[in-house]
């Protein structure tokens, strides 16, 4: 594992990205997009899992303009309060620009094969969809993205595979929101959307309060398959 520094496209400074390399070279890369808890221990564990599958995993610090190095969990109210404050102060458009910068760095990373995808969770799940509509990523995967219904007008811009993992009982996405998203992607050949029954938001967060092993294994298997198909 390593940490690299990247210069923001708007010239406002530089930000760090956490990198875990796979055992093999000439491998695809995955930009791993954080939840509202920052590049925390759980996300780093996810990066290791992705590297173990044979991909470079690169997780940029998206909250750097507010507070670099945020590492929170979902275990205490104080951490939740801080996480929500950071999310509310986060400029998503600038976040997408930082992700594009990371994407380009991942294409040229030593040992990488030039193919790059994104995978995001919660806030990162929303940003992964924004990368599908606004970037040239080769593949994008969104886990329980928030406010995806607001992005439906952008879905016509999707020109690379996008996989959506949706929690049926997501406390941050009502049944109406889920229906709007599913309706929005119904005729889009680039998008595969899966709804996981009887699970809540963050069902795939390792060690999280709503972790569901069965749903996580199924979702992660689908993710591994699409990443292997496109990035190898």
**Residue 198: CA atoms inside 13 Å, Cβ hemisphere, count?**
3
Give Cα 75 distance to the centre of its chain: 21
Q: And the tokens for 33?
A: 């997009």
Q: Print the domain residue range for 42.
A: 2-231
pLDDT, residue 232, reads 95
What positions carry a catalytic annotation?
170, 201
Q: What is the pLDDT of residues 45-81, one digit of tens each?
A: 999 999 999 999 999 999 999 999 999 998 999 999 9
pLDDT at residue 207 in the model:
82
Q: What is the CATH number of the domain that holds 9?
A: 3.40.50.1820
pLDDT at 208: 85
pTM: 0.96
**Contact by Cβ (8 Å): 31, 102:** yes
Domain count, the chain: 1
Per-residue pLDDT at 1 exceeds 90: no
Span 94-118, pLDDT tens digits: 999 999 999 999 999 999 999 999 9
Enter the tokens of residue 69. 């190095």
Cβ–Cβ under 8 Å, residues 184 and 152: yes
- The Cα 25–Cα 111 span in angstroms is 5
């Amino acid at each position: 594992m390593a940490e690299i520094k990247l210069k923001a496209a708007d010239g406002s400074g530089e930000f760090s990205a956490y990198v875990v390399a796979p055992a093999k070279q000439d491998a695809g890369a995955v930009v791993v997009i954080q939840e509202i808890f920052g590049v925390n221990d759980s996300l780093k564990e996810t990066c290791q899992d992705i590297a173990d599958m044979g991909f470079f995993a690169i997780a940029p610090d998206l909250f750097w303009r507010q507070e670099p190095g945020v590492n929170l969990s979902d275990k205490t109210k104080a951490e939740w309060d801080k996480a929500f404050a950071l999310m509310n102060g986060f400029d998503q458009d600038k976040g997408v620009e930082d992700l594009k910068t990371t994407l380009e760095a991942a294409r040229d990373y030593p040992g990488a094969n030039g193919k790059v995808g994104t995978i995001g969770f919660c806030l990162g799940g929303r940003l992964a969809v924004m990368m599908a509509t606004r970037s040239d990523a080769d593949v994008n995967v969104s886990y329980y993205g928030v406010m995806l219904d607001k992005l439906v007008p952008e879905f016509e811009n999707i020109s690379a595979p996008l996989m959506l993992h949706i929690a049926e009982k997501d406390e941050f996405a009502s049944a109406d929101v889920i229906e709007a998203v599913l309706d929005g992607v119904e005729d889009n050949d680039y998008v595969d959307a899966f709804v996981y029954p009887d699970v809540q938001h963050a069902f795939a967060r390792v060690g999280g309060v709503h972790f569901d092993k069965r749903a996580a294994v199924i979702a992660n298997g689908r993710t591994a398959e699409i990443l292997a198909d496109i990035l190898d």
